[in-house]
Structure 1
Amino acid sequence: MVEVLKFTFVETVLDTIGQAEGRVAILVPIEGNLGQEARRVNRLTKGAVERMREAKAETAKLGDVVSLAWPAGMTAEAVDVVFLPRQCSIEEARNAGAAMAKKRGAAGLLAALGNHPKAAEIVAGLALRDYGFDQHKTADAAADAREVTVMVSKPAEVETAAAPRLAVAKGVFFTRDLVNEPANVLTTTEFADRLVALKSYGVDVEVLEEDKLAELGMGGLLSVGEGSDSPSKVVVMHWNGAEDSSAPLALVGKGVVFDTGGISLKPAAGMEDMTMDMGGAGVVAGAMKALALRKAKANVVGLVGLVENMPSGSATRPGDVVTSMKGDTIEVINTDAEGRLVLCDVMHYAQERFKPAGMVDLATLTGAVIIGLGHENAGVFSNDDAFCNGFLKAAAAEGEGAWRLPLGKGYADQLKSRIADVKNVGGRPAGSITAAEFLNRFVGKDVPWIHLDIAGVASVKGDTPMAPKGATGWGVMALSRLVADKFEV
């Protein structure tokens, strides 16, 4: 498990900056007067900060970092000059913190932030970007100093403001760890065990095994795992943070720990990436951890369907008909369209048991959403404008790209089956939308619902502002903010 940086918040004492070891980061506006910390470093280095600022004045952008290695007059190995004025956005402040994290490497850091009004957001960015998944590497690595000293004018105030942000960062890291794990490690059983461990944070956790799922009639979900030796499971996580027994928000995640495509086998090239096909369940898990750590005053239930989609003599075949928990029969045209079979049963169970005030499902559901939106935005579908707009606002505030796409009867008609109530694919046109319409069939008419297709954003091939390549943890921050904005009392 990758740990979030430990932050120590101390009051600004200029005399200690020169004796700091490791790296020292200071904030410098592209124009205007230097703050007292930057002035102190400028004096110690005999004007090096001002000279560097003048040299970069025409090309520097907000959040850029320029390092002064082994600065004269100081014991630090480097000074990181971060171009950030006092007046900046949350995104700019977090990007500045992320830039500090990338420069930090394995060294300790003194972040001299003074009285910057968005110091807590800088800390959040620093925490989110300081991540690396190397649990399965055997080569000796340099010792990583996991502590950062934050020097500010009001340390208690900044520490209080940063605490919920760091709680969410821990949830993001939990998601990234899960999504990055190989499938021979993160089996359905191991995944469930890691979720059971959330009990230590006050989350109530239940694991429903295959016999219970069969009793409930979850034929869609169980059909996906028929070909695997790993048992299919549903894990239910309860966070009861509200003072009353108000209806919870339900978060539902697709947890296909590995997806070969089943009998409709995927091409070999790139199949190794299908370790991330449990990304929706990973986000639900991370969000539940974040809510528990920040003691959210809301009732939220997280449900994840954990399966493995493998080809074998017992695997579901194209052309088979399975019966969902709702009772609808489903013609399986393509066994590689398996996530919706998992979700339809878990969504129905969530509504039957918990009567939620709203429901959000997340899934790495379709390659089509990547064709449409690339890796910049998740696809958003909803039956409720107010609920959807609340999520879009939360995602925008957290810098997590999301774009709403339509639903409609014409798309649903593509799913008509000759021999069953519905088929599980509607052809190539509008593949992400027809997948959402399949799920829409299993949503009660009075339940506000959002479907998030995160296939393009859950794991990426290059660095993002807040994460190295690989799992991003997309969605944990947006869901936490949605809960804070709409469901906390």
Structure 2
Amino acid sequence: MQFTVSQAPINEFQGQALILFVPSEGELPKATAVINEQLSGFIAQLQQNNDMKGKVGDTLVIPQASGPRLILVGMGKNPMSGKDFCKAINAAAKTLKASAANDAAIDLSDIEIEGFDSEWAHKQLGQSFQDALYHFDECKSKKDESPAKIEGLTVIAENTAEIDLKFGQALAKGMAFAKKLGDMPPNVVTPSYLADEADKLATLSNNLTTKILDEDQMEELGMGSFLSVAKGSIEPGKIICMEYMAGKAGDAPHVLVGKGITFDTGGISLKPGAGMDEMKYDMCGAASVLGTMLAIIELELPINFVGVVAAAENMPSGHASKPGDIVTAMNGTTIEILNTDAEGRLVLCDALSYTIDTYKPASIVDIATLTGACMAALGRVNSGLFSTDEDLVNELLSASNTSRDTVWRLPLEDEYQELLDSNFADIANIGGPLAGATTAACFLSRFTEGQKWAHLDIAGTAWNSGGKAKGATGRPVPLLVNYLANKI
């Protein structure tokens, strides 16, 4: 998709559509007012007749006998909230995609957003319209011969908007990469497939190199926890390290660690069959790290950043771990496996230990579709945030607010740690029926002591279930890219 910045008035646009904002009350924004005057008050008459009430996200497409069609978008009140602006822009992108037009013009210069400036608005614009292009038909024998396309968007703005549009566009490309990895079938997306995708990313930037640990290397390193999960599958586990070093030489990198369970049956603690196909999405933490890396490459951010993926399948077999097994993690901690379906923390703990030993990171954030308990608590609106480092919490909350990729902080007090006590090992891999999201975070905290560390549980936000809405969301790529961009 091509973004063009122009200073010409919107009524001089010669393309196929004009995107115009209509408020629920008050005066029309300048761009809409210009077209309204040109059409002898037609848009204002639509308001008066309640054909276009201006409710946030409502749209109305008006064809013209000559000239571009009008896509009217409800904006609610002006100034708008950041949430309402994003809703309106997403509605505009989806409506344009569904229309017969393949290009349009838009002017945000008179749209006020509470707490945000035009730079933020143009970033969101670039992200939403690029994201609207996502279309998954990789596995269909008959492709959609004429998928809806948006070929170009002319933005009436100062030339500086080009930088902001590029940021949003790069972010959406990272989201699309993460979505595609999640939506692909698990017989294709294996740990080895993710390793190959990481190697492909390395061809896009001279600043990026990859390092892949195989199971023999993990055995030598004493990663008994990771291997206890991987050994149940014929697909070999991998720890994938992507080292993007474009910052100051010698500066410690910021690290993201993603859970990459490419399919999760639950192992011997087998999951119910209904909906188990969605367990291909248990690698969305890994997908978000890969998507973030692509966005960082696109933006050429001058930062030292390492993306780590802990990739394995969790399968039931004669080699699989059993409830009651005790394994030893890389840092020497012994773990009693009470439930083999709590496997994400078993691969992540060794990946975290390796990451800390190898990279001595300035900060470390892990991202995982870790617990149904987090989904029960927060639904599909907020990702769960856990950390005891107040500075890091504030950085992630700030990035969440900017990106509108929302998180909610959940407790991580020491009092929860005793729920992980085991009679037979140093720690159990589950903490019982209560506070499941917190005890999972407590488990990981045992392997990150003394580090600037946070955990994101994206079990509820990484994908949507059921019907036409089913599919990966690309979250939390927007949060992570903004978080890293703020480090510069």
What's the TM-score once normalised by structure 2's chain length? 0.91
- Which residue in the other structure is 2:274 paired with? 269
Q: CA deviation at 1:331?
A: 1.1
CA distance in 1, matches of 2:357, 2:327: 20
CA distance in 2, matches of 1:30, 1:470: 33
CA distance in 1, matches of 2:324, 2:137: 42
Secondary structure, aligned partner of 2:203 = helix
- Which residue in the other structure is 2:92 paired with? 100
Q: CA deviation at 1:30?
A: 4.1
Secondary structure, aligned partner of 1:263 = coil
Query: How has the CA–CA distance of structure 1 residues 291 and 140 changed in structure 2, closer, same or farther, with 3 Å as cutoff?
Result: closer
CA distance in 2, matches of 1:151, 1:170: 19
Residues 132 and 468, structure 1, Cα contact 8 Å, conserved in 2:
no
CA distance in 1, matches of 2:58, 2:256: 37
CA distance in 1, matches of 2:21, 2:245: 41
Give the AA of the match of 1:478: L
Query: How has the CA–CA distance of structure 1 residues 114 and 361 changed in structure 2, closer, same or farther, with 3 Å as cutoff?
Result: closer
CA distance in 1, matches of 2:229, 2:28: 61
CA distance in 1, matches of 2:350, 2:47: 59
CA distance in 2, matches of 1:56, 1:235: 56
1:166 and 2:152 correspond: no
Q: CA deviation at 1:12?
A: 2.2
1:229-258 deviation digits (Å, cap 9, x = unpaired): 111001001121212321111111110000
My pick for the range that moved more, 261-270 or 289-298, is 289-298
Residues 104 and 154, structure 2, Cα contact 8 Å, conserved in 1:
yes
Q: Select the residue among 97, 100, 103 that pairs with 1:109.
A: 103
- Which residue in the other structure is 2:328 paired with? 323
Residues 98 and 130, structure 1, Cα contact 8 Å, conserved in 2:
no
- Which residue in the other structure is 2:70 paired with? 79
Query: How has the CA–CA distance of structure 1 residues 341 and 99 changed in structure 2, closer, same or farther, with 3 Å as cutoff?
Result: same
1:114-160 deviation digits (Å, cap 9, x = unpaired): 63443443333222344232222334522433412214143x22212
- Which residue in the other structure is 1:134 paired with? 137
Query: How has the CA–CA distance of structure 1 residues 330 and 59 changed in structure 2, closer, same or farther, with 3 Å as cutoff?
Result: same
Please give the root-mean-square deviation of Cα atoms over the aligned residues, in Å: 2.3
Secondary structure, aligned partner of 1:406 = coil
My pick for the range that moved more, 223-232 or 29-38, is 29-38
Q: CA deviation at 1:10?
A: 3.5
1:6 and 2:2 correspond: yes
Secondary structure, aligned partner of 1:278 = helix
- Which residue in the other structure is 1:20 paired with? 15
Q: CA deviation at 1:311?
A: 0.7
Query: How has the CA–CA distance of structure 1 residues 94 and 12 changed in structure 2, closer, same or farther, with 3 Å as cutoff?
Result: farther
Query: How has the CA–CA distance of structure 1 residues 319 and 477 changed in structure 2, closer, same or farther, with 3 Å as cutoff?
Result: same
- Which residue in the other structure is 1:474 paired with? 475
Query: How has the CA–CA distance of structure 1 residues 120 and 443 changed in structure 2, closer, same or farther, with 3 Å as cutoff?
Result: closer
CA distance in 2, matches of 1:153, 1:410: 54
My pick for the range that moved more, 313-322 or 118-127, is 118-127
Residues 133 and 149, structure 2, Cα contact 8 Å, conserved in 1:
no
Q: Select the residue among 50, 53, 78 that pairs with 1:56.
A: 50
Secondary structure, aligned partner of 2:420 = coil
Query: How has the CA–CA distance of structure 1 residues 170 and 55 changed in structure 2, closer, same or farther, with 3 Å as cutoff?
Result: same
Residues 122 and 168, structure 2, Cα contact 8 Å, conserved in 1:
no
Secondary structure, aligned partner of 2:327 = strand
Which stretches in structure 2 are left out of the alignment for 5+ residues? 111-117
1:189-243 deviation digits (Å, cap 9, x = unpaired): 1111111111133222111111111111111111111111111001001121212
Residues 397 and 407, structure 2, Cα contact 8 Å, conserved in 1:
yes
- Which residue in the other structure is 2:154 paired with? 150
CA distance in 2, matches of 1:307, 1:371: 25
CA distance in 2, matches of 1:399, 1:309: 33
CA distance in 2, matches of 1:214, 1:53: 69
Secondary structure, aligned partner of 1:264 = coil
Q: Select the residue among 263, 281, 295 that pairs with 1:258.
A: 263
Q: CA deviation at 1:27?
A: 2.9
Query: How has the CA–CA distance of structure 1 residues 405 and 33 changed in structure 2, closer, same or farther, with 3 Å as cutoff?
Result: closer
Residues 131 and 172, structure 2, Cα contact 8 Å, conserved in 1:
yes
Give the AA of the match of 1:339: G
Q: Select the residue among 299, 305, 326 that pairs with 1:300.
A: 305
- Which residue in the other structure is 2:113 paired with? none
Query: How has the CA–CA distance of structure 1 residues 59 and 53 changed in structure 2, closer, same or farther, with 3 Å as cutoff?
Result: closer
Q: CA deviation at 1:383?
A: 2.2
Q: CA deviation at 1:32?
A: 4.7
- Which residue in the other structure is 2:225 paired with? 220
CA distance in 2, matches of 1:143, 1:58: 28
Query: How has the CA–CA distance of structure 1 residues 429 and 33 changed in structure 2, closer, same or farther, with 3 Å as cutoff?
Result: closer
CA distance in 2, matches of 1:204, 1:261: 33
Give the AA of the match of 2:456: L
Q: CA deviation at 1:28?
A: 3.5
Q: After the TM superposition, which residues 170-185 of structure 1 pair with which residues of structure 2 at under 5 Å, given as runs?
A: 170-185=173-188
Q: CA deviation at 1:372?
A: 1.3
Query: How has the CA–CA distance of structure 1 residues 245 and 24 changed in structure 2, closer, same or farther, with 3 Å as cutoff?
Result: same
CA distance in 2, matches of 1:378, 1:410: 23
1:456 and 2:460 correspond: yes
CA distance in 2, matches of 1:380, 1:44: 51
Q: CA deviation at 1:109?
A: 2.4
Q: CA deviation at 1:448?
A: 1.1
Which stretches in structure 1 are left out of the alignment for 5+ residues? none
